[in-house]
Structure 1
Amino acid sequence: MRDSISRDTGLTLDLALTVRHDGDGGTADDLADPAGLTAWVRAHPDALPGADRFTADAEDLTAVRELRAAVRALFARAVRPDAPPADAARLLPVPEALRRLNDAAARTPTVPVLRWAEGSGPVARRRPVRGEDDLTAVLAQAAIGFLAGPDRQRLRACHAPRCVRYFLKEHPRQEWCKPSCGNRARVARHHERHRRTA
């Protein structure tokens, strides 16, 4: 099903999912250092122009991590009234998240460009004024596209204990981001039932 989602949706989900349950009760961060950000950007060559040449520095890392914090806070708002992820208590307030997202999106001014190929209709696209998009601006604009688009309605927080991941709901009974989280949730329910009856 991943092939049927938009570029904005895929990129935004991938950014949010760089924070995940580590399997030991804590969280892991794929963007813990500039090398992690470099690897993540280079894994997205179709969505991030210049990804193959990108090398992150500390400033890039800080900017992307701040944007990710904003995206995760807005994801938590988007999944309400359902339960937010396990890390909801550490999320940014929504007004601060909105400010960060909008400020990041504005880092690359764009202009509309009209393309009109022979035999097809005109298509308007936005092009950066300076020639190359700022990474954080691209990610922020993708997040805005996702949050304002139709895929947001399918966004859910995983219901498994300690999981901090989000996913797009593929079928009506889906509650978990992946099968291992479903197994962990069933085991937790089983232990809770036996604890109450003991």
Structure 2
Amino acid sequence: MTDTTPLIGEPLALDLVNTRPLGTDLLATTEQLADWLARQSDRHPELALDRPARADLAAVHDVRDHIAAALDAVLHGQPPPAAALRALTTAQAAAPAVRHLRWDGAAVVATPHRDGPSATCLSAVLAEAAADLLTDPALAKLKRCEADDCVLLFLPAHPKRRWCSPERCGNRVRVARYYRKHKE
């Protein structure tokens, strides 16, 4: 995995915030957004969007900024900024999910559906993911990667987890430690 490939696998809101490591925007273009959405759509089918437009990209950046502000406050033991919480609430309200019911031949299936422009719907999905994360008691475990050159966030499944990814930062830290130890 390269540092230009966004990590996925954390809660959706964290995955979104983690697309901006150390001043680099891994969602700088509509093509990068399309790739990220495609990678996320297995876990989050509502994110399926073949050809995002500039408006979609701007909407995602806006929601990402509000989530990042809220999480940064949480990491520092502060309450999330009221403006960020209002913006996330407004984004959710702009395209609420209505569960459409249908018979699939064996059972009733409920499929979330949103009305509105794709940017509005995308913002609503991401803002709902932020609401889920910000209200989850597990948020108290939120950590920033301990690698010196990494700012990615994660929710550790194991209390000893220190890095965003064992393959990415964990390996680099262990290799650097090995070379320092054997250089002396």
TM-score, length-normalised on structure 1? 0.65
Tell me what 2:28 maps to: 32
Tell me what 2:169 maps to: 181
Deviation at 1:48, TM superposition (A): 3.3
Show structure 2 runs of 5+ residues with no match. 1-8
Identity %: 34
Tell me what 2:21 maps to: 20
Does the CA-based 8 Å contact 2:59-2:122 persist in structure 1? Answer: no
Deviation at 1:187, TM superposition (A): 5.4
Counting only pairs closer than 5 Å after superposition, residues 118-197 of structure 1 correspond to structure 2 as: 127-128=113-114, 134-179=121-166, 180-182=168-170, 183-184=172-173
1:178 to 1:43, Cα distance in 2 relative to 1, 3 A: closer
1:45 equivalent in alignment to 2:41: yes
Show structure 1 runs of 5+ residues with no match. 1-7, 22-26, 83-92, 192-198
Tell me what 2:72 maps to: 76
What CA distance in whole angstroms lies between the structure 1 residues aligned with 2:115 and 2:53? 23
What CA distance in whole angstroms lies between the structure 2 residues aligned with 1:144 and 1:61? 20
1:44 to 1:173, Cα distance in 2 relative to 1, 3 A: closer
Deviation at 1:40, TM superposition (A): 1.0
Divergent runs of 4+, >6 A: 112-115, 123-126
Tell me what 1:4 maps to: none
1:95 equivalent in alignment to 2:95: no
Cα deviation, 1:67-90, whole Å, max 9, x if unaligned, reads 1111111111222349xxxxxxxx
Does the CA-based 8 Å contact 1:41-1:48 persist in structure 2? Answer: no
TM-score, length-normalised on structure 2? 0.69
The size of the alignment, in residue pairs, is 165
Alignment RMSD: 3.7
What CA distance in whole angstroms lies between the structure 2 residues aligned with 1:80 and 1:145? 20
1:50 to 1:66, Cα distance in 2 relative to 1, 3 A: closer
